[in-house]
Chains A and B, each alone.
Chain A
Amino acid sequence: MASDDSLPTLKILLIGPSGAGKSALLTRYCDDEFDPESSAATIGIDFKIKNLAVRGKAYRLTLFDTAGQERFRTLSTSFYRGAHGVLLVYDISSRASFKTMERWFTEAEANTVQGVALYLVGSKLDKAEHSREVSYEEAQALAREHNASFCEASAKTCENVRRPFVDIVDRIVLTPGLLAAARAGRASGTLAVGASGGAGTDGYLSGCAC
C-alpha cells in the first residue's frame, strides 16, 4: 500500500460563526467523539488528517478549523490558500447564526480559487424537532445561490456526519482543474525548506578543483 505521503492531499476548511458546531462536527467525523460539555473555543488543533477513498481512489484530507479566528472575523488570507473545498457551518437552531452565512460565502469566494467546492452544513440537526429556527428549504435556497451543496447533520446523534466530507471530496475530484488550480505553484519551484539537512554548499565554496 502506498505511504500516506504519496496520497493526493486535499485541503478542506470549516468556517462559520462561533458556536455553530464546526469543531464538534470535525471531532465526530475524525475521532468519532462528541463532548456535550465542550463549548469552549477550540485550542490546540491546527488541522486534522483523515484518509478517505472516493470512487476507488484514496485521498488524504487535511481539515482546517478556524482556531477561534472566526470570533472577530480575523481569518487570514493565508488560511484560505490552496483550499480545495470549504464547509460553511451554521446552527439550524440559531437564526442569528444562519444570518451570517451570506458574509461567510462572500469571504470564502473572495479568498479561494474559482471553482472551489463549497458546501453549506446546517449543524445540530438533533435540535430540529424542538428548536429549529432555519428551515431546510431556506438554507437549501441559499446554497443554490452560491452553487454550493447542502445538507443538515448532527454531531451529537452522528446523523449525516460523514456525508458533507464524502460529498465535498467527490465534488472536488469531479471538478476539472480544481486539484491543479488549488495546488498551482506546488509543482513549479516550491522548495522543501524543512527537509534539508543543510550540510553542504555548492557554488563558489564547493570543492571543485580549479
Chain B
Amino acid sequence: MDFSSELSDTLWDVVICGTGLPQSLLALSLSRSGKNILHIDPNDYYGSAEAAFSLQEADDWVARHSTTAASSTSVFKSASITKPENVVGLSFPRAYTLALAPQLIHARSELLSQLVSSRAYRQVEFLAVGSFFVFKPSSSPSLAPTLVRIPSTREDVFSTTAISAKAKRGLMKFLKFVVDYNSSPQTESWHPYADVPLVDFLREHFKMDAELQTYIITLTLSLDGRISTKDGLATIHRHLSSMGMLGPNFAAVYPKWGGISEIAQVSCRAGAVGGAVYMLGNGIKEMTVGENEISLELTSGDKVRTRRLFRGEGTGGDETGIGRLVAIISSPLKSLFEPTIEGAPKPGVAVIAFPTGSLASAGEADIDCPIYVLAHSSDTGECPIGQSVLYLTTLSSSDSKNTLHRALESMLIALDGEQQRPESLYHLYYEQAGSSMRSQQEDLIFGFPPPSLSLSFDDATLGPVREAWNVVMGEAGVGTDYMAFPDREGYVDDDEMYD
C-alpha cells in the first residue's frame, strides 16, 4: 500500500508535531471531531520530554543529550549514566521503565476529570501516592540519619511521637486555617504576606518552629523552598482537599509504567482510534506558510499540506533548570510504601524531602534549596519486583549532580536496616531547562510551552490544550462538550460454549 501518496494527497485539517502531554491530549480532545489529523514526532518514541524508557532506550537517549551546552531543540542536557562497579542485580533492559519527568497528580486535578470524562482513563492504571517523609540528619556521628513521616490525617497528627504537643496544636490550627483560607477572616491574616515566602508567614503568624515549617513546605514540593504565601496556601489547600477523594489516606495518584508518558500514549491511541494517522521518528524539515495552508517537508521526505500546525515551542531555556538523578535500588524499600491506616490502598509512590540545610558534611557546602525524592515501588511497573526506583530532583547548580548523589547515599543509609542492604545499581543524571513561556499562536501555527518542572502536575498545562482545541473547532466547538465522550466499547455477546 502506498501511504506516502495518502500523506501528500490529503489536505490535513491538523498536523500535530510532538507526543508530549499537551499534544497528545489535543489528539484525544479531537478524537471524535471528524477532523483529518496527522500526528508526528521527530523522536522514535512517544512522550517527548515526558517519555519513559527501558535501559536500552535510556542509553540511546543519553547519547543524544550528553552535551553540557544549552540547546535550542531540547530541554535536556548533561545526561550521563553510571553503574557502580562490583554491584550485581540489574535485570534485563526492558524490565525497567524510567520516567524522564515523573509527576504526582492530585486527586482534584482537572487532568483526572478529563481522563475520566473522555474515557481514556480506562487504559491507565493509577496507584496511590502514600506517605511524605522528611530527611533528618543524625544528631551525632555515631547515629544514622532518619526519615520522619509527615502525619497525613488528624488521627496521625495526634498519635505521632515525632512532634511535641505544642507543635501538634500549631499544626492543627494551620490546617484548619487552610480549609477555607480564601474567606474572611482568614484572608485578612495572609493577604499582607501574599507575595512573601510562605515560611515567613508560618513563622510570624503561626509561630511554627523550623521543623513544622519544613513539613508544610515539603507538602508544597516547592523546588526552591521559597514558595510564596499565596501559591503555597493554594498548593496546601489542593493537597488537603484532594486527601481521601479517591480513597482513604492519600491525596495524589501516579499512573503506572512511567506516569505522564502512559497518559500520552493512551491519548495517542485514542487519537488513532478516532482516525488520526501516527508517524514516529519523523519531524518537520522545511515549512512554507501560505495564506490558508502550510506546506511541510518531513524528515522522511514526505511532503504534506495542512490547514494548521500544532507543535512544542523549543526550549526558551533561559530560566533556572533542575538536576535530576534516577537511581535503581537493589531493595524494595518496603518501609516507604506501607499503608498507614487500615483499608488504605497500598501506595506505589512515596515522597522524601531533604530540607534546605539538611545535608551538611565535612568539606562540602550544605544545600541551599530542598532536594525531593519520588520513590517508586515495583508496583509502578518501572522496575522488577524486589527493587525500587528513586527519582531525585533539585534546582540545578554547578554542583547539583554531586549533591544529588550525596543525598542518595544519605537516604540509603537512613533506610538501612531493611532485610537486604539497599544499594544503587544504576544512575541516570540529566538537567532539564525551565521556561516561563506561554502558548503562542501566529498565523496558522500554534506552539505549546515546554513542560513545567513541577513535581506535581500543574493544571495550567491544560489551558493551552483547550486553547488549541478552540482554534481547531472554531464555531463548531461552541456548545460542544470538551473532552466528554461516551465509551467506545463493543457490545457484549451471548456466551458461547466450548469444551
Partner of B245, one of A30, A45, A78, A196: A196
User: Known contacts A202-B153, A203-B153; is A45 also within 8 Å of B257 by CB?
Assistant: no
Complex CA gap A4/B268 in Å reads 28
Q: Which residue of A has the minimal Cβ distance to B490?
A: A48
Given contacts A46-B273, A47-B489, contact A189 B379 (CB under 8 A): yes
Q: How far is the CA of A158 from the CA of B338 in the complex (A)?
A: 53
Q: Is B155 an interface residue (CB 8 A)?
A: yes
Q: Which of B121, B272, B494 has the most CB atoms of chain A within a 10 A radius of its CB?
A: B272
Contact partner, A78, options B175, B253, B266, B275, Cβ 8 Å: B266
Query: At the interface, yes or no: A180 with Cβ under 8 Å from chain B?
Result: no
B128, B251, B269, B282: which has the most chain A beta carbons within 10 Å?
B269
Complex formed: what's the CA distance from A203 to B132 in Å?
Answer: 14
A198 in the interface (beta carbon within 8 A): yes
Please pick, from B246, B282, B348, the residue contacting A196 in the complex, using a CB distance under 8 A.
B246
From B112, B154, B256, B381, contact of A210 by CB (8 A): B154
Size category of the binding interface on chain A: 35 or more
Any chain A CB within 8 A of the CB of B166? no
Q: A208 to B489, Cβ gap below 8 A? A: no
Task: Decide: B265 and A51 in contact? CB cutoff 8 A.
Answer: no
Does A141 lie at the interface of the complex (its beta carbon under 8 Å from any beta carbon of B)? no
Q: Is B234's CB within 8 Å of the partner chain A?
A: no
Contacts of B127 in A (CB 8 A): 185, 189-191
Interface size on B, as a range, is 35 or more
* Stretch with Cβ within 8 A of A (4 or more), from B236-244, B354-362, B402-410, B440-448: B236-244
Q: Considering the complex, which residues of chain A in the window 13-72 have a beta carbon less than 8 Å from any beta carbon of chain B? A: 18-19, 30, 41, 43-56, 58, 60, 63, 67-69, 71-72
CA distance A97 to B3 in the complex (A): 15
Q: Which of B256, B489, B491 contacts A190 (CB 8 A)?
A: B256
Going nearest first, the 4 A-B pairs with the smallest beta carbon separation are: A202-B244, A48-B490, A203-B243, A189-B346
Q: List 28 A-B contacts (CB under 8 A).
A: A44-B274, A44-B488, A46-B269, A49-B491, A49-B492, A51-B493, A63-B490, A67-B273, A69-B278, A71-B277, A72-B277, A72-B278, A72-B279, A76-B46, A77-B97, A78-B123, A78-B262, A79-B265, A79-B269, A189-B345, A193-B112, A193-B253, A198-B107, A201-B241, A202-B244, A203-B154, A203-B244, A203-B251
- Residue numbers of B with Cβ under 8 A of A are 1, 3, 46, 94, 97, 107, 112, 115-116, 121-128, 152-155, 157-158, 172, 175, 179, 240-249, 251, 253, 256-257, 262, 265-266, 268-270, 272-275, 277-280, 282, 345-348, 379, 381, 488-499
